[in-house]
Amino acid sequence: MKKLLRILLVCALLGALGLLPFHASDAARLLPVKTIVVTRSGEEYIVDIGAGVRAVGRSLSEALARLKEEVTGVVFLPTAEQIILTEPAEETAEAAAAEEAFRPAAGIYRTPDPEPDARAMGAYLSTHTSNTTVLDLRAALAVGRELRLPVIRAAEGGYRVDE
């Protein structure tokens, strides 16, 4: 009984100091992300999550951090189902594979469209999933193998995925 009381006191103390590994969040402020478009322009990365919400940084991690800072609410990246890299995708593939904020099971694509619509592409991709994931890209890069990412293209008022 004394051991349980000590554990509860330690937990209460850590909670009061804000040192517990879990934090409360207001669910109404959460902004779950479905699709992330990553573009590299010169030395900058541009991250777009749709509806004109985008951020720029010198690295992909910096762009994602700025996105979280600049948006009202809490941007929740673990819900992202698709990561779309604009051409040339080779420049952004390594950064996307190294980004720990991206869910390993998220589908990863590339597009020749220089200004893709994240929401429209995300809606299409939710019903046309790919077998290529962020984890596949990480594994391929780890062993030095090239991975051909599926290409999403505009087609007849919609999109199509070329595997």
Distance CA 77, CA 103 (A): 8
Q: Is 39 helix (H, G, I), strand (E, B) or coil?
A: strand
* pTM of this prediction exceeds 0.85: no
Report whether the peptide linkage leading into residue 21 is cis, meaning its omega lies within 30 degrees of zero: no
Give the contacts of 65 (CB within 8 A, at least 6 positions apart): 57
Query: Is the pLDDT at 130 greater than 90, yes or no?
Result: no
The answer to whether the CB of 110 falls within 8 A of the CB of 137 is no
pLDDT of residue 150: 93
- Run of H or E residues at 38: strand 35-41
Bigger pLDDT: 89 or 60?
60
- Computed over every residue of the chain, the mean pLDDT equals 86
Bigger pLDDT: 38 or 5?
38
The answer to whether the CB of 11 falls within 8 A of the CB of 4 is no
Query: What DSSP character marks residue 133?
Result: B
- The pLDDT tens digits for 77-127 are 888 999 999 988 887 999 999 999 999 999 999 999 888 888 899 888 888
How far, CA to CA in Å, does 138 sit from each of 18, 95, 107, 151? 34, 10, 12, 18
